Structure 1
Amino acid sequence: MEKITARLTAAATPSAPALVLRPWTPADAAALVALDWDDALRRWTTATTDDEASATRWIGIQQEGWEAGHRFAFAVVESPSGDTEGRLAGHMVLKIVTPGIASAEVGYWTAAHARGRGVAPRALEALTEWAFTAFPGEELTRLELLHQEDNTASCRVAEKTRYALASILPASPPAHPHAGHVHVRTREI
């Protein structure tokens, strides 16, 4: 696969600045640690960063995914000026779960300070459009968004970005102690 690079944008709204989505870099480690890893973020994510060493390791994993061509992770930055500098607001990722299958998974989280201002839906829409453009034709036709059934905020984000509820996943403790939702968006032809 040829190397894919990307810088995605989402327009400002009357109440929130523009967003820039760009690959994570080692320079993001301090900002990642400084996020308010509140109870909600810790509940819905599988990994947290409590110090610069763990942040650097996590960023390294994101970079390795890009290099391998199976995990395309973006830092979401609030950027009033439209450049790549600004306040870290979240994370978006496209995961190619099974190479050769025309389906991929999207995931995200938002920092506490960014919630309730449309950051997740705007960033997810930018990621979705990019995914269907970066992987044309039959290479990628379906995106799946998975979340725990009781994560109502993720359900709202899915609805706002036209990811339809497709199925319910049963709980599978200990990794997934609660039932989950699978939302799907297909390439528009």
Structure 2
Amino acid sequence: MSSILRAPARASAPELILRPWRDDDRDALLTAYQDPVLLRWTRFHVTSPADADRWLAQRRQGWADGSAFSFAVLEPDTEAGERLVANVVLKQVTPGRPDAEVGYWTAAPARGRGVAGRALDAMSRWAFARFGDTGLARLELLHQVDNAASCRVAEKTGFRFQEVLPARPPFPRDGHRHVRRADQG
């Protein structure tokens, strides 16, 4: 199964292309991480070229060892060809284990346009198709309780609220667990 995914175009939004991260994404990654909102909600900050190189190396390693599948999310750009708009990741995938976790972030210029939900949906469908026969039956999305935008993305993408999780390091606040099951589509 291909590691290039597509979220179809809608009347108000172009097609999204999801592909594994590459070394030439470094500058776009650094630009995305200049956003204070992104820095607020992510645990690992990319603030230098060395940070970006480490971050990209970790993404390659995840694909190589099968522990995490991180996708750069791109949309067409008339000047640049493609523009980075988000990141989605499937992590903690283990054959025989029924659940895995998903995560994402959205670059500042792409927020409020449905990018996160469309990319998360495409990756979720891919995850169930690729790993369903090894036992994957549910995906979990976790976020802090005060991240209302992530709560909306989860609900719109078929991740139903399950419970409040107590704060524990490195997370300073309680969190929400949302779940999407394979039989939901």
TM-score, normalising length: structure 1 = 0.90
- Aligned mates of 1:79, 1:92 — CA distance in 2: 18
Q: How many residues align?
A: 182
Query: What amino acid does structure 2 have at the position aligned with 1:17?
Result: P
- Aligned mates of 2:134, 2:18 — CA distance in 1: 25
Is 1:9 the counterpart of 2:12? The answer is no
Is 1:181 the counterpart of 2:180? The answer is no
**Which moved further from structure 2: 135-144 or 149-158?**
135-144
Instruction: Tell me the equivalent position of 1:31.
Output: 28
Query: What amino acid does structure 2 have at the position aligned with 1:137?
Result: D
Q: Which runs of 5+ in 2 are unaligned?
A: none
The offset of 1:76, in angstroms, is 0.4
Query: What amino acid does structure 2 have at the position aligned with 1:60?
Result: A
Correspondent of 2:91 among 79, 95, 118: 95
- Helix, strand or coil at the partner of 1:131: helix
Query: What amino acid does structure 2 have at the position aligned with 1:59?
Result: L
Q: For the Cα contact (< 8 Å) 2:33–2:39, is it kept in 1? A: no
Q: For the Cα contact (< 8 Å) 1:36–1:112, is it kept in 2? A: no
Query: What amino acid does structure 2 have at the position aligned with 1:9?
Result: R
Q: Which runs of 5+ in 1 are unaligned?
A: none
Note the 1:12-161 alignment, pairs <5 A: 12-35=9-32, 37-79=34-76, 85-96=81-92, 100-161=96-157
Q: 1:100 to 1:25 in 2, by over 3 A?
A: same
Q: Kindly report structure 1 stretches of 4+ aligned residues shifted beyond 6 Å.
A: none
The offset of 1:119, in angstroms, is 0.1
- Aligned mates of 1:51, 1:89 — CA distance in 2: 19
- Helix, strand or coil at the partner of 2:105: strand
- Helix, strand or coil at the partner of 1:86: strand
Q: 1:126 to 1:80 in 2, by over 3 A?
A: farther
Query: What amino acid does structure 1 have at the position aligned with 2:120?
Result: L
Instruction: Tell me the equivalent position of 1:163.
Output: 159
Q: For the Cα contact (< 8 Å) 2:66–2:93, is it kept in 1? A: no
Q: For the Cα contact (< 8 Å) 1:21–1:74, is it kept in 2? A: yes
- Aligned mates of 1:112, 1:73 — CA distance in 2: 19
The offset of 1:30, in angstroms, is 1.2
- Helix, strand or coil at the partner of 2:47: coil
The offset of 1:13, in angstroms, is 2.3
- Aligned mates of 1:69, 1:97 — CA distance in 2: 7
Q: For the Cα contact (< 8 Å) 2:95–2:135, is it kept in 1? A: no
